Structure 1
Amino acid sequence: MFDTLNAADKAVVGNAAIGSIQSQVNADFLEKLPFADDPLVATLDLGAKGSFDQVLERLELYLSPKNGGERVPRGLGYNNLLFMAAELLLLQSHPEQVPLLLIEEPEAHLHP
């Protein structure tokens, strides 16, 4: 996974359009907003140099129609369903623990 992310990160950093945006943000905005002797400089990349946890935090779980297409707009009910699915998956990966999921206010998770 890290090899793929590093390769994608290098492609992003080496992209002329990305470099132009980074330079423009730095020149037009951040150079004018330094903190005393501490100038601000923005770097635009995928964050592949972070820890494994930081990389995982960048992943997104979302709903999409079964036949593909646009993402399903997420309300509270859908977000709760995704969270419960992720928690159930986590429970499956630890069979030595008690597989228990309590749902408070189940009516909040109903969706038409």
Structure 2
Amino acid sequence: MKILDRAAEIGRLLAASREYQALCRAREELQGDATARELVQNFQMLQQSYERMHMTGYQLTEEHVARLKKAEEDMLANPVVRRYFDARQGFSHLFNQVLTRLRQHIDLS
């Protein structure tokens, strides 16, 4: 099917983009750095814990919010983590531009 062939071509172009290549390099660097991985894991566990608390009706305190913010600041202060998040944001931006361009040609209303 021609449409699926074009989709595969877009996938190959995305994979060859500098944004995706930067993301791959940053992911490898993150995976190879135990300290950076631990910072990300600690933040994610805390974030998920607070999300579960909130979903069960528990009101998060200012202390909870401050603790989460501090964990995020600590995580993003690590240069390896920062490079990964910046690279992920760069690729997400490119991917969203592709989706926007596709949506411009489809009327779903």
Tell which structure's C-alpha radius of gyration is larger.
1
Of structures 1 and 2, the one with the larger relative CO (CA 8 A, separation 6+) is 2
Q: Return the TM-score normalized by structure 2.
A: 0.27
Write 1 or 2 for the structure with the bigger share of helix. 2
